[in-house]
Amino acid sequence: MQFQIVTNHAGSDLSGDPTFTLERVFASGTEGRRDVSHLLDRTYGYRSLREVQWHLADRFGVQPRNVRVHGADIRREHPMS
């Protein structure tokens, strides 16, 4: 399965490592591209693409090695208010 993600900068976790949230998630397959954002917790602070890969694999019932995640370079930084 292939996924394209659009991320937001979320801050940092308790150890100070940067995190990001998923703004949008699109699955690509033989039926084309479909928005699957509603199937995931978009408030969770991910620390890596690998973590996203494992979460998507678990959600869709496939092996992590069969999940490809693209689009991490689309990350958007939001200014602090």
Q: Where are the domains of the chain?
A: 2-74
Contacts of residue 59, Cβ cutoff 8 Å, sequence gap at least 6: 39, 40
C-alpha to C-alpha distance for 50 and 55, rounded to whole angstroms: 9
Tens of pLDDT, residues 4-62: 999 887 676 667 778 888 999 999 877 788 999 998 888 888 888 899 999 999 999 99
Output phi, psi for 9, to 5 deg: -70, 130
Flag whether the pTM goes above 0.95: no
Q: Residue 51's pLDDT is what?
A: 92
